[in-house]
A = this chain, B = another copy of it.
Amino acid sequence: MSYTIKDVAKKANVSIATVSRILNAQSGYSEKTKIRVLQVIEELGYQPNAIARGLINKRTHTIGVLFPKLSSSLVTDLLDGIEKAAGISGSSVIVCHTEYNGEKTLKYLQLLSEKRVDGIIFASEVLREEYYQFLKKSNIPIILLSTESPSFSIPHVKVNDFHAAYSAASYLIEKGHKNIGMISGNKEDMIAGKPRIEGFQKALADAHIPLSEENVVYKKGFSFPDGVEGLKELLKQFPSVTALFAASDEIAIGALSAAYHLGIKVPDELSIIGYDNLNIASMSIPPLTTVSQPLKEMGETAAGMLFKLLETGKAPNSILMPHQIIERFSVKERI
């Protein structure tokens, strides 16, 4: 049978209001009373609701994850890792889809706060001032995943985008290429835009390869159409290009598609290296050489940091994860 708050009050010999106060973590009762009431709750197997139970344990064993976009395998891989760590710690994961929309993001932060999640993992997007203020006010622990905040001191997990882009460009240089172009995402994007451009430029500079404005095409985003348009623009401004660093796999696959339609053979006439190692990278024709982020491990690490923060109350250190080059068939040595 199912017991009510009244049964608990009666058996514990206290008022309903006292049980309610204990469940709502308010004051006005002795420690002895609290222990007795919690014992009765356990004896009866009384389950007020998830919220109240959470209050008893001080935790709801639910965490929220905010993603700006759900389509890519990037999300699945990050989420796999988060769910693995959550499973071990006995927590459930609620996912919210913000579509890079500020109003929607705030609404979801409020919803997660109301549903009393233990903490939040904020992924792949810029943490705006207003999100930060809300989280601070609501006192909800947060970890940044695959993003970081230049303004606020919040623990994060990501790869070093500058170094990863530097490696990608160096890989093309090692393969004998000198006319190397880049299709970049938004250069104003301080997380995935600017650092990758700077890493690319530094690698060329270190190898004494002349670099001008012609080498880089700047697009608004990191999508397939950005790659299609990007390659056309790059070929116009830099016709002698023999190798391309694409700032995302979707850009790379857009460039592959544009090359196919233009009759340019990859990798014979143009080498392409991507960034992300999405599952579509192995599906493309030819299969894409790319920079891999350890997405699953990153998700697992972020969730692990959040649980540690919940247990100890101490903010963990930010972690930079290693990247690696995954060699497939879209880059050819230039002799």
Instruction: Say yes or no: is A205 at the interface (Cβ < 8 Å to chain B).
Output: no
Kindly list chain B residues whose C-beta atoms are within 8 Å of the C-beta of A38.
Answer: none
CA distance A26 to B307 in the complex (A): 36
Kindly list chain B residues whose C-beta atoms are within 8 Å of the C-beta of A236.
Answer: none
Tell which of B4, B95, B114 touches A95, judged by Cβ atoms closer than 8 Å: B95
Give the most central of A26, A75, A96, A280: most B CB within 10 Å: A280
Kindly list chain B residues whose C-beta atoms are within 8 Å of the C-beta of A6.
Answer: 26
Tell which of B20, B50, B116 touches A20, judged by Cβ atoms closer than 8 Å: B20
Kindly list chain B residues whose C-beta atoms are within 8 Å of the C-beta of A282.
Answer: 224
Instruction: Say yes or no: is A97 at the interface (Cβ < 8 Å to chain B).
Output: yes
Query: B97 and A96: CB pair below 8 A?
Result: no
Query: Nearest CB to that of A83 among chain B residues?
Result: B97
List CB contacts (< 8 Å) of A274-316 with chain B.
Answer: 279-280, 282-287
CA distance A104 to B241 in the complex (A): 50
Instruction: Say yes or no: is A144 at the interface (Cβ < 8 Å to chain B).
Output: no
Stoichiometry (number of copies): 2
Instruction: Say yes or no: is A111 at the interface (Cβ < 8 Å to chain B).
Output: yes
> Provided the pairs A16-B20, A283-B257 are in contact, do residues A92 and B111 lie with their beta carbons within 8 angstroms?
yes
CA distance A21 to B48 in the complex (A): 12
Kindly list chain B residues whose C-beta atoms are within 8 Å of the C-beta of A50.
Answer: 111, 114-115
Report, as a range, how many residues of chain A touch the other chain. 35 or more
Per-position contact with B for A103-136: 1 when CB-CB < 8 Å, else 0? 0000110010011100000000000000000000
List CB contacts (< 8 Å) of A1-48 with chain B.
Answer: 4-6, 15-17, 20-21, 24, 26
CA distance A71 to B70 in the complex (A): 7
Nearest Cβ on chain B to A56's Cβ, whole angstroms: 13
List CB contacts (< 8 Å) of A207-221 with chain B.
Answer: none
Give the most central of A24, A116, A254, A256: most B CB within 10 Å: A24
Per-position contact with B for A63-80: 1 when CB-CB < 8 Å, else 0? 000000111110110010
Instruction: Say yes or no: is A235 at the interface (Cβ < 8 Å to chain B).
Output: no
Instruction: Say yes or no: is A253 at the interface (Cβ < 8 Å to chain B).
Output: yes
Sorted from nearest, which 4 A-B pairs have the closest CB atoms? A50-B114, A16-B17, A71-B76, A95-B95
> Could you list 29 examples of A-B contacts with CB < 8 Å?
A6-B26, A16-B16, A16-B17, A16-B20, A20-B20, A49-B116, A62-B111, A69-B76, A70-B95, A71-B72, A71-B73, A71-B75, A71-B76, A71-B279, A92-B96, A92-B111, A93-B97, A94-B95, A95-B96, A95-B97, A115-B115, A224-B279, A224-B282, A224-B283, A253-B283, A254-B283, A257-B287, A260-B285, A280-B283
Please give the residue numbers on chain A whose beta carbons come within 8 Å of chain B beta carbons, in ascending order.
4-6, 15-17, 20-21, 24, 26, 49-51, 62, 69-73, 75-76, 79, 83, 92-97, 99, 107-108, 111, 114-116, 224, 253-254, 256-257, 260, 279-280, 282-287
